[in-house]
Amino acid sequence: MDMKQQPPRWADRFLMWYCNPRLLEEIQGDAYELFYRSAKENKYKADFYFIWNVLRFFRWKNIRRSKQKNTHSLLSTAMLKNFYIVTLRNFKRQPVHSALNLFGLSIGFLCAFLILLWVSHEFSFDRFHKESDSIYKVLAHAKVEGVYETYNVASASLDVSSIPEIESKVMVIEGERWPNELCFRKDGNNNECVFLKGIYAGESFFSLFTFPILEGDNDPLKAPNHIAISENMAEQLFGFEDAVGKIIKIDGRIEVTVASVYANPPGNTTLQFDFVMPFAIIKNLWGISDGQFDTYAFSTYIKTHSASSPELLTKKLNDPLVLSEEFRKQNIHYEAYPLTAWRLQDKFENGKVAGGRIEYIYIFIAIGSMVLLMAVINFINMSTARATSRAKEIGIRKATGAFRSSIITQFLSESFIIVFAAFIIALLLTQLSLPYFNLLLTEPISRQWYEGEIVFYIIAGLIMVALAAGLYPAFVMSSFQPVKILKNQMNAQGTGSERLRKSLLVVQLSISIAIIIFTGVMYQQMSYITHKDMGFERSNTLRIEPTFQLLKKFDAFKNELQKNASIIGAAAANDNPLDGQPNINVSWPGKAENTRIAFQAIGCSYEFASTIGLRFKEGRDFLPKAQDTLYNEAIISEDAIKTMGLKQALGEHIEVNGYDCVIIGVVQNFHTSSLQKARLPVVLYREKYTQCSALYVRYQPGTTQQSLTAINDAYKKLEPSYTMKYWFQDDSFNELYRTEITASRLILLFTIISVIIAIIGVVGLSTFNVMRKTKEMSIRRVFGASMVQVLTLLSNEFSGVMLIAMGLAFPAAWYVADQWLSKFMYHTDLPWWIFIASLGGMAMITLLIILTQGVKTLSANPTKVLRND
């Protein structure tokens, strides 16, 4: 045969490419045979004929790759059913073990789901606004003493109309107290207040942000006497009546009309408000003119036409056309900061973002992944450890003709079944525990697991976990050689790598030790905070929001209170000693010109120092003389002496808010804000009652209930038409550490979960370890080893694991804990005993589990064990 005559190469290749390899030989053979036959007559005709045949063979039946011709495909339903049944049987054969496995995986998933929900809730903040990416918050950085301080407000006079990128700008006056928190009255009830918090905003508020208006005017802030209220407020004030058009009295004097009702702001917004009023109202309430208003600074938001870069906007905001000379002189510059980033990253250091809640988000993502990893490791360890008992099954399957691939499929599907079951259980648990989780968080999570991208993450997680948990056992177990298994030549140790199992245990133990240590440090710091001597009494103290009338009649109020034995004292002040505002208007002889040094200047009544329990070092308290000592005496703290560099403080004259005061006393330092911040030097000066913002009443410990009643009675006597608004100082104190308190609660929960998973892991492994070594132990016993010797042998194995775990966990935990502690200006030292205790605790539990298992086995008669073979 003339071998030079070959069919067209490309057609042949095409055939080889598409054709199922199992059918290729006969098809190609037929095609060639026909080609050679007709090539004897005419080469071109033969070529054409060949091509034609190749094209005609191009049908689905010849293309389809069936792995095994004439047999069922690898994943037939019958086979899957068999896998399912075998999985169930295995589950039933070792119910405790399997349940532990399932339970461990479920709570691992639960933990991951809860964290996922919380994290996505945090990340969803302010993203519900239309075009949320083009909304920016304007921040002001002011250079003070060479260091930038950042404020989340911009001057009211900021005019952005010359920047073409900006579509609109809105100013919002936010705040916690009057005039943001107001007393509203239900129709017909003139003696009870409904306290609601709201904001004052510019006209474009509702067009810039997406807070849908349900009823009434779509543009309610145009008219000067309008108010827009939330559904919640409408319901509280008017019940089911139509709210639009109703008249509300603000502060008992300004009448406003309800122009519209908007949907309650969702949980994931940084702006929470029950009403919005135009600026005209707040100017009226404050009693200021437009000119004065313009000298103030408020939260300012801008929206760009299309997504623009924040850098460009920042540059334009600082253009001389926008930023006036007056601000440039004061070293102030603006920054356009994406609104969506504000919730998680709102801390600034020297003008640069320095984190915020995002730190906790990262910590919890790390914890969630680690806990899930631990659960997966458990699963892997338990499956490979159980391989010994499954070896026979695998041997028989292989001997009767199973391919390795089908064994892999079996174990993969087995792990999928278990992982999927755990996944469903975890979803149920998540749904059930969410309300309690919300309680821990102190705010409800706005997202559900079946919402948006979360489903995607959950499904991806499911698949990843199932693969991670199933792949290794599947490959190990499918590699067993049937001959060895069936001839019982397989030694028990050969199943899966012992070293791998141990290293996985190391990972597990080190993760849980590290988490325990971090939690310990966190709780140590929290307890340090609660027990820290603030320098004054914060317990058993009530802070009362006064009305103007009450301030005027403060003396009467105090006299009324002092009729009760349980009341220690009452005072008025213009700043909360727990959380004060810095004041730079303090000067003293020798103060350098043009320096801005922040003080805590508290204007107060003469009873203040004694009421909150300040401790005098030198000098005396303010005298109960009336107005003649006003504005001419001051009490300062030790820090203030240092700051001012005074040799002899008493009798020195300083200037506070423009008044000349003589120092009459020195008090011990006290903390005026969260322990995260450095203590400020303090100056106390006397202030008129009517200039004060809050009243402080301290009572005898243990008399909270009766004191509260007494205070309320006194209040009602003087202000019969108002409801007393008050806070316990302890609560306000906790509010300062809200994020930390929430985080520490969460972390405790996850620590418990991680420890449970670790214990499950140790139990699972040690059971099998002991089972594997039953024979060895019995032989040792027969040859006269004592119980203790054998047990030592068993536990020795784990002590190595423990040591390595410790070596890994300690530096990691130390680093993270140290980072976290350094956020606090005042913190405990890294408590070494926590390191020792966590290690000791983990070691104790591990040992205890191993030993109980060992003793259980050893207490059986060794001859019986040995005779079984």
Partner 1 sequence: MKGSYLGELEELTLLTVGILYPEAYGVGVMDEIEKQAGRSLNISAVHSVLTRLEEKGFLTSKMSDPTEERGGRRKRIFLLTAAGKRVLEEAHQMRTQMYNRIPKMALQFQWT
**Please, which residue, 21 or 188, has the CB nearer to partner 1?**
21
Coil/strand/helix, residue 183: strand
Peptide linkage before 179 cis (omega within 30 of 0): yes
Q: Among 860, 848, 862, 842, which residue's Cα sits nearest to residue 795? A: 848
Q: Among 567, 580, 594, 554, which residue's Cα sits nearest to residue 637? A: 580
Q: In the bound complex, what is the minimum distance in angstroms from residue 39's beta carbon to partner 1?
A: 12
**Please, which residue, 31 or 609, has the CB nearer to partner 1?**
31
Q: In the bound complex, what is the minimum distance in angstroms from residue 33's beta carbon to partner 1?
A: 5
Q: Are 83 and 397 in contact (CB under 8 A)?
A: no
Q: In the bound complex, what is the minimum distance in angstroms from residue 450's beta carbon to partner 1?
A: 45
Cα(159)–Cα(168) distance, rounded to whole angstroms?
11
**Please, which residue, 36 or 103, has the CB nearer to partner 1?**
36
Instruction: For residue 84, give the H/E element and its range.
Output: helix 77-93
**Please, which residue, 30 or 349, has the CB nearer to partner 1?**
30
Coil/strand/helix, residue 861: coil
Q: In the bound complex, what is the minimum distance in angstroms from residue 71's beta carbon to partner 1?
A: 13
Q: Among 337, 358, 338, which residue's Cα sits nearest to residue 150? A: 337
Q: In the bound complex, what is the minimum distance in angstroms from residue 11's beta carbon to partner 1?
A: 14
Neighbours of 690 (CB within 10 A): 11
Q: Among 443, 545, 579, 691, which residue's Cα sits nearest to residue 182? A: 545
Contacts with partner 1 by CB under 8 A lie at 1, 25-34, 36, 52-53, 56-57, 59, 61-62
- Compute CA distances 374 → 106, 510, 663, whole Å: 12, 10, 62
Q: In the bound complex, what is the minimum distance in angstroms from residue 64's beta carbon to partner 1?
A: 12
Q: Among 513, 515, 519, 517, which residue's Cα sits nearest to residue 801? A: 513
CA atoms within 13 A on the CB side of 377: 27
Q: Are 173 and 298 in contact (CB under 8 A)?
A: yes
**Please, which residue, 62 or 236, has the CB nearer to partner 1?**
62
Coil/strand/helix, residue 447: coil
- Compute CA distances 267 → 22, 43, 180, 264, 432, whole Å: 62, 80, 19, 9, 20
**Please, which residue, 3 or 307, has the CB nearer to partner 1?**
3
Cα(490)–Cα(486) distance, rounded to whole angstroms?
8
Neighbours of 372 (CB within 10 A): 23
**Please, which residue, 12 or 607, has the CB nearer to partner 1?**
12
Q: In the bound complex, what is the minimum distance in angstroms from residue 777's beta carbon to partner 1?
A: 58
Q: In the bound complex, what is the minimum distance in angstroms from residue 56's beta carbon to partner 1?
A: 4
Q: In the bound complex, what is the minimum distance in angstroms from residue 14's beta carbon to partner 1?
A: 14
Q: In the bound complex, what is the minimum distance in angstroms from residue 40's beta carbon to partner 1?
A: 11
**Please, which residue, 1 or 78, has the CB nearer to partner 1?**
1
**Please, which residue, 28 or 446, has the CB nearer to partner 1?**
28
Ordered DSSP codes for 740-801 = HHHHHHHHHHHHHHHHHHHHHHHHHHHHHHHHHHHHHHHHHHHTT--HHHHHHHHHHHHHHH
**Please, which residue, 33 or 660, has the CB nearer to partner 1?**
33
Copy the structure tokens of residue 34. Answer: 């026909």
**Please, which residue, 66 or 789, has the CB nearer to partner 1?**
66
Q: In the bound complex, what is the minimum distance in angstroms from residue 72's beta carbon to partner 1?
A: 13
Residue type, 821: L
Query: How many angstroms from the chain centroid is the CA of residue 458?
Result: 18
> Residue holding tokens 């009255």?
185
**Please, which residue, 25 or 187, has the CB nearer to partner 1?**
25
Cα(285)–Cα(250) distance, rounded to whole angstroms?
9
**Please, which residue, 70 or 822, has the CB nearer to partner 1?**
70
Instruction: For residue 139, give the H/E element and its range.
Output: strand 135-144
Q: In the bound complex, what is the minimum distance in angstroms from residue 423's beta carbon to partner 1?
A: 40
Q: In the bound complex, what is the minimum distance in angstroms from residue 5's beta carbon to partner 1?
A: 11
Q: Among 706, 578, 600, which residue's Cα sits nearest to residue 657? A: 600
Q: In the bound complex, what is the minimum distance in angstroms from residue 398's beta carbon to partner 1?
A: 27
Q: In the bound complex, what is the minimum distance in angstroms from residue 73's beta carbon to partner 1?
A: 15
**Please, which residue, 37 or 186, has the CB nearer to partner 1?**
37
Cα(330)–Cα(148) distance, rounded to whole angstroms?
12
**Please, which residue, 9 or 531, has the CB nearer to partner 1?**
9
- Compute CA distances 498 → 466, 511, 594, 803, whole Å: 22, 20, 72, 17
Copy the structure tokens of residue 352. Answer: 């640069």
What are the two backbone dihedrals, phi and then psi, of residue 490, each rounded to the nearest 5 degrees?
A: -85, 120
Q: In the bound complex, what is the minimum distance in angstroms from residue 57's beta carbon to partner 1?
A: 5
Q: Terminal CA-to-CA distance of the chain, rounded, Å?
A: 70
* Those residues with Cβ within 8 angstroms of residue 457's Cβ, 6 or more apart along the chain or in another chain: 116, 120
Q: In the bound complex, what is the minimum distance in angstroms from residue 403's beta carbon to partner 1?
A: 22
Query: How many angstroms from the chain centroid is the CA of residue 40?
Result: 81
Rounded to 5 degrees, what angle do the CA atoms 184, 185, 190 make?
135
Coil/strand/helix, residue 159: coil
Q: In the bound complex, what is the minimum distance in angstroms from residue 769's beta carbon to partner 1?
A: 53
Q: Are 195 and 181 in contact (CB under 8 A)?
A: yes
Q: Are 371 and 753 in contact (CB under 8 A)?
A: yes
**Please, which residue, 28 or 712, has the CB nearer to partner 1?**
28
Cα(625)–Cα(616) distance, rounded to whole angstroms?
19
**Please, which residue, 69 or 867, has the CB nearer to partner 1?**
69
**Please, which residue, 30 or 451, has the CB nearer to partner 1?**
30
Q: Are 694 and 726 in contact (CB under 8 A)?
A: no
